[in-house]
Structure 1
Amino acid sequence: FGSQFRDIEYQQQQQQQQQEQQQQQYQPQQPVRQQPVQQSTYRPLEILTTPAPQVPLRETYQPQEKPTYNNQQSLIYNTDYDEDLIAQIEQDNVYDQPTRPPTRTNSNNNRNRGSSSYVGQERDTPTAVTSNRGTHPPRTRPTLKPSGTIVSKAQEFVDIYRYPPTRPEPLYPQPTPDKTAAKCRKDVCLLPDCACGGKDIPGGLSVDEVPQMVLITFDDAISILNIDIFAELFNNKSRFNPNGCPLRATFYVSHEWTDYGMVQDLYADGHEMASHSVSHSFGEQFSQKKWTREIAGQREILAAYGGVKLSDVRGMRAPFLSVGGNKMYKMLYDSNFTYDSSLPVYENRPPSWPYTFDYKIFHDCMIPPCPTRSYPGVWQVPMVMWQDLNGGRCSMGDACSNPSESEGVTKMIMKNFERHYQTNRA
């Protein structure tokens, strides 16, 4: 009997284990079967239906940490692709910006002449602020500068110090200059591009075949002090050239005290306008850049204020005849001027003809420094010295010992004219 009872107990234990295993297998499905369907409603759904209190964006938005730049992936943030968040940030920045008056903007991007134009709305109307991630709109300053001198006043319209003057188109092709000028060779230096100068008549012409050219020039400013004299000289219809053309002069204009409205009138009448510098200063110590500002800069001012074409301003005369040597003539060559008329020539019987700086100058240097290098294509219209009634010489007529009466002045002028007309008519 003992063995039978053990078998019965063993069978009962196996049956209990099988029942427990079956209960464990069906245990996850029992709550679903036993729980009713109404109780499956989830409580968080009730929280979503009620609006939650909104926290200000300034408190919730935390800036990202600074990228390490170790790899490209570290530069990408999740907020860069969150369009709603970026729009809220930009809108919040716009609200924080106060209403400002319209800023002045310069429409002239290259600042060509120092002028500026201002565009904007009235002060009472709000400005339209563009979204730029919180940065304030940029401001621009006007380019006009306060002027305390005449040169800086001209610089407001003609900024010759920041922008070099433009060069007119060359009349003739110009070779490169030599470092040291040689003596002029008449068999090589031929017209119309080269001339040796001196007393010989160009082209081998006789005196009777050469017309006498009379140059009438005026230096310094054109103003109310001398415009009546110019009108009396040149508006007289009884005075004209042998070919019927009216009398015309060359004005070497300096900037100070010049009335450019009068310059326009004289230029319209056919007179030549040339450069006589901006500041009318002694220039023997000027650098080439300073000469460019003074001489080529005055050419720009004549074009800006006087309406003179740049290509028509072809010549210059140094103030006080104080030339600048190689620096000044290198400026003339680089700035494409045609001629200079600043060098006095002592030898006046017979007088000298104009010449070019292709070769060394043939006369003595009366007011140093004179050029020592070659500048092909640049002409010199020499200032042949005058002689007063006592035999004294001067570079200009007003520097001579002039007689006080008009008859003496006429006699001195005719004496110098006859010296040219009766010799080589230079």
Structure 2
Amino acid sequence: MSPPSYRVWALPGLPEVRPGDDIAKLIAATEPGLVDGDVLLVTSKIVSKAERRLVEAGDREEAIDAETVRVVARRGALRIVENRQGLVMAAAGVDASNTPAGTVLLLPEDPDASAVRIRDGLRDTLGVEVGVVITDTFGRPWRTGLTDVAIGAAGVRVLDDLRGGVDAHGNPLSATVVATADELAAAGDLVKGKAAGLPVAVVRGLPHVVGEPTEAAVGARALVRTAADDMFRLGTSEAVREAVTQRRTVRAFTDEPVDPGAVRRAVAAAVTAPAPHHTTPWRFVLLESAASRTRLLDAMRDAWIADLRRDGKSEESIAKRVRRGDVLRNAPYLAVPCMVMDGSHHYGDPRRDAAEREMFVVATGAGVQNFLVALAGERLGSAWVSSTMFCRDVVRDVLELPANWDPMGAVAIGHAAELPRERPARDAGAFIEMR
């Protein structure tokens, strides 16, 4: 048996593509000699030209803005964005090269549909069953240089899912999914070239990657990771801003357990906050067992009820207030941030001593904010509640804390049971005074 092999070659003879042209008919007119099982690799640029995606634009940046759904990362003038097609790429795929002045070329509006039209057209014209991949050039995370990838496909198994199988040594394959359409696109780019005027390539010898019409409906969209599966959804600065803006108070949690490692990573972020005199004023007590949480919250509830009764509140009013505090009781995980003032200065002057304590309080608050933002980055919901500050002696007694540890509230942690309600955007200018 001969070893597996395939051929790939660029298709010569295609004329300059113009708006309204039928790509399939242009390919057929070159007498390409296609056979069943061939795969055509078609550069997106000629598809865009045929589909009248050449548009006037005052400048390329405006066109990129119009095609951008979400900025993923920005460095200087370079933007990596998610575009209208759901693709994450530089400049939203907007191309200003080899186009008339004052115009730009956008990607096909629906690359999968474009591939279907070319495939169907070749079947009607030449009577062959082929696969079609629409390609475009991408940079890649972690790797230098560009390569062609599939942005549209029809009649091609875009992914080869090997999970559930075994390798040559009998080891189970649990994570291997091959991006077949991207591999085909890269192979075609080796012969098409960027400036050779050869926008179409043919691959022959891999009929197993050409799918039936039912499989063709999947298209290259299947290659795009969902937001839930994308571990690298944002650039560094964008990820920080996203975590900060997405940090919302969560008051209802699911029963899903919390990963203790995620909380410890959040603590590691918390203790990078600034602090006075090179001190470390933060301590985090993690209540990971239901028994420890119940013991603390029961003691705090009893102390709160006693305070409310001393305030003359009615039993009905007390019951309502206690119910409102159930956000801590309903959380599957609690953390109690504490402040310690080791290393603080004592001046013997009430004004300066008060300012000294305030410095430590601010530093502790910065640590708590870091903690909450880091939890959001771990996709955990949280709610900071101040209640432990009103019964510090009780908290210290129940948790057996040193006398110099001041509880600074409690943080309920868990997986949000529902999406937070939309809140109106705040105008940062309203909080700024210029001098």
**TM-score band (shorter)?**
under 0.3
- The two structures have a TM-score, normalised by structure 1, of 0.20
Q: Which structure is larger by alpha-carbon Rg, 1 or 2?
A: 1
Given the two structures, how large is their TM-score scaled by the length of structure 2?
Answer: 0.20
Greater relative contact order (Cα 8 A, min sep 6): structure 1 or 2? 2
The structure with the greater share of residues assigned to strand is 2
